[in-house]
Structure 1
Amino acid sequence: MTVKAILDQKGREVITVTPEISLSEANARLAEYKIGAVVVVDKSNRICGILSERDIVRALAAKGADAMSGPVSSAMTANVKVCSETHSVNQLMEMMTQGRFRHLPVEVDGKLGGLVSIGDVVRVRIEQVEREAEEIKAYIAS
């Protein structure tokens, strides 16, 4: 299965923020939508970075509560890994495992086209394994 198929199933809506808003505002957005990361985009919807709960924790550890009034750009991961719609589930698993991250923005024509989470990848992988098990059972029964 490809990233495109995952996004076709789950949708392409992504909660985003701009680099200028405060870390406190971005944190409120995470809480409001009950999500672990937001993609940071510019006015053209180009990916500038990603801000995760881990980034906020690191900013708090480094600067204390004052970090929350600073801009997202001061805490976000700017060198964000992205994938395309043609990446496979196995490629996503490898990227996420090697990079030790749980969210992967999807880039389409240089702009944000969706977001894939580790939960999406695990769900798809479980469906694949269950389907394979059913096929093996049917083969054995015939």
Structure 2
Amino acid sequence: MTVKAILDEKGRDVVTIAAGKTLAEASALLAERGIGAVVVLSGDDRIGGILSERDIVRAVGKEGAAALGKPVSSVMTARVKICHEESTVDEVMQIMTKGRFRHLPVEKDGRLDGIVSIGDVVKRRIEEVEREAADIRSYIGTA
């Protein structure tokens, strides 16, 4: 199973934010959309960073409520790990596990093309395991 299959089913829409917006605005956007991260675009749909709930909580924990007035660019992760349509579910799981993050932007031709979450990846992996188990049961039943 590839990232392309995930995106083909769930869609390629990604919630984005400008680097100059405040953490308060980013928090409101995350809450409004019920999501855990937003991609920061640097222009021409190029990935400039990613901001997660965890990033905001760390900033507030360190600086208090004043952190909410800071720009997204001051807290976001600028060196974003990405994947591509051809990436497999197993590859994406390894990237997410190693980096300890839950969202992975998908890049195509240098531009943002979608995003996959750990929930998307786990759902696909469970479907694969269930399909394999059904195939094995079917094979045993006909043997």
Q: Normalised by the shorter chain, which TM-score bucket? A: over 0.9
Offset at residue 128 of structure 1 (A): 0.2
Q: Which residue of 2 aligns with 1:34?
A: 34
1:114 aligned counterpart, secondary structure = strand
Residues 3-42 of structure 1: matches in 2 within 5 Å? 3-42=3-42
Gap runs ≥5 in structure 1: none
Residues 38-53 of structure 1: matches in 2 within 5 Å? 38-53=38-53
Q: Which residue of 1 aligns with 2:137?
A: 137
- Specify the code of the residue in structure 2 equivalent to 1:99: G
Offset at residue 42 of structure 1 (A): 2.1
- Specify the code of the residue in structure 1 equivalent to 2:96: M
TM-score (norm 1): 0.98
Q: Which residue of 2 aligns with 1:68?
A: 68
Q: How far, CA to CA, are the matches of 1:91 and 1:43 in structure 2?
A: 28
Offset at residue 43 of structure 1 (A): 2.9
> Which deviations, in whole Å up to 9, do the C-alpha atoms of 1:71-107 show, x marking residues without a partner?
1001111111011111000000100000000000001
Offset at residue 61 of structure 1 (A): 1.7
Runs of 4+ in 1 over 3 A off after TM superposition: none
TM-score (norm 2): 0.97
* 1:104 equivalenced with 2:104 (yes/no): yes
Offset at residue 130 of structure 1 (A): 0.4
> Which deviations, in whole Å up to 9, do the C-alpha atoms of 1:111-134 show, x marking residues without a partner?
100000000000000000000000
2:77 aligned counterpart, secondary structure = coil
Gap runs ≥5 in structure 2: none
1:38 aligned counterpart, secondary structure = strand
Q: How far, CA to CA, are the matches of 1:141 and 1:70 in structure 2?
A: 62
Q: How far, CA to CA, are the matches of 1:43 and 1:83 in structure 2?
A: 19
Give the root-mean-square deviation of aligned CA atoms: 0.7
Q: How far, CA to CA, are the matches of 2:70 and 2:9 in structure 1?
A: 37
Q: Percent identity?
A: 62
Offset at residue 15 of structure 1 (A): 0.4
1:42 aligned counterpart, secondary structure = strand
- Specify the code of the residue in structure 2 equivalent to 1:74: S
- Specify the code of the residue in structure 2 equivalent to 1:7: L
